[in-house]
Amino acid sequence: MNLNIAVLAGDGIGPEVVAQAQKVSDAIAKKYGHTINWTPAITGAAAIDAVGEPYPDATHQICMDSDAVLFGAIGLPRYDNDPSNPVRPEQGLLAMRKKLGLYANIRPTLVFPSLLHKSPLRPELIENADFVCIRELTGGIYFGDKGRNEARDRAWDVCEYTKPEVERIIRLAYSYAMERKKKLTIVDKANVLETSRLWREVGQSLEKEYPEVTTEYLLVDAAAMRIIQWPEGFDVMVTENMFGDILTDEASVISGSMGLMPSASIGLHTSVFEPIHGSYPQATGLNIANPVGTVLSAAMMFEYAFKLMDEAQEIKDVVNKSLAEGIVTEDIAGKDKAYGTAEVGDWLAAQIK
């Protein structure tokens, strides 16, 4: 099988962790008789430096022409520290989501048996935690009208959703729930926000079509508490853009390291697979970044984009083996017993071969 994959490594540690995911993907492709055609493209700060915009048309065309996108991370301190800068790396990520029609971000939250002791939560609270958060990506406050008055002493960001947008993402969440434990949690702030009341109305109208699924509605603050108090109580969670952004980062620490968590963004065109962590610019070039989240994102790519289940499972299995045997970076092992980013990637690829 020929797999045409766009590579948007991005900024900071992005190129380093993406390179390890490519190593592992190449190893699995060779073992199973596939051919991967990698096409690199620029985005984020790297693209701003090169052409003045964070998601150039040429990059978008490469994504559209590919079967999947493997994405690293974007962002650099010089942009974070200058809020007045009109062009920012993160605008590239939002533009990519909008232009590719990526309306759903799929983030699994799972634990690794060998790393239970690394979680900030007690092992008995998390040992069976396994849930998926589906975050709406193209609406809400991130894409609504925003601005400042002339005196720049007043600012606004408008949160806006349409019924079709909400219905689309909730239907997708129900499809995931049907394939899992048949439980769906719809997270909103319907006691305060009008957009959340729309979400709840749409959810209530759709739940009648899925009688096999137990549907619950949870206010976002209560959901934030339950993720810490009882993460095993979730199966599939769906929520709007900003709530999902915050809740999934909270949930990521359950595993013991944000560097372990993958994600997929799916929608109308080419799907994007990326780790949930940021660009971590302080670690750039130091060979200390954890590549596992990106490697597991590649596993999601094989599963979701190409329907190659055996290949995806083998990547997951070899990752679990690396964690159990201590072939890990310093965020998990500490500096004294840590392997480098590239060494972890080499070990994973060698195990597959």
Superfamily of domain 1-100+271-353 in the CATH hierarchy: Isopropylmalate Dehydrogenase (3.40.718.10)
Q: What is the rounded CA–CA span in Å between residue 241 and residue 137?
A: 5
Half-sphere exposure of 273 (CA within 13 A, CB side): 30
CATH, domain range 120-255: 3.40.718.10
- Known catalytic membership, residue 130: no
Q: Which of the following is catalytic: 26, 80, 130, 245?
A: 245
- Catalytic one of 79, 142, 161, 339: 142
Instruction: Give the integer Cα–Cα distance in Å for 132 and 86.
Output: 35
pTM of the model: 0.88
Query: What pLDDT, on the 0 to 100 scale, is given for residue 61?
Result: 98
Q: Do domains 1-100+271-353 and 120-255 have the same CATH topology?
A: yes
Pick from 86, 92, 59: which is nearest to 73 by CA? 92
> Which residue in 49, 82, 157, 221 is the catalytic one?
221
| 297 contacts 263 by C-beta, under 8 angstroms | yes
221 is catalytic: yes
d(CA 135, CA 241): 6
Q: How far from each other are the two terminal CA atoms of the chain, in whole angstroms?
A: 18
* Whole-number Å distance between alpha carbons of 340 and 274: 20
Catalytic site residue 249? yes
Active-site residue, from 26, 80, 249, 346: 249
Q: What is the pLDDT along the chain (353 residues), one digit of tens a residue?
A: 999 999 999 999 999 999 999 999 999 999 999 999 999 999 999 999 999 999 999 999 999 999 999 999 999 888 876 767 788 898 999 899 999 999 999 999 988 988 888 899 999 999 999 999 999 999 999 989 999 999 999 999 999 999 999 999 999 999 999 999 999 999 999 999 999 999 999 999 999 999 999 999 999 999 999 999 999 999 999 999 999 999 998 998 898 877 899 999 999 999 999 998 889 999 999 999 999 999 999 999 999 999 999 999 999 999 999 999 999 999 888 888 899 999 999 999 999 98
In the chain, domain spans = 1-100+271-353, 120-255
Helix (H, G, I), strand (E, B) or coil at 13: coil
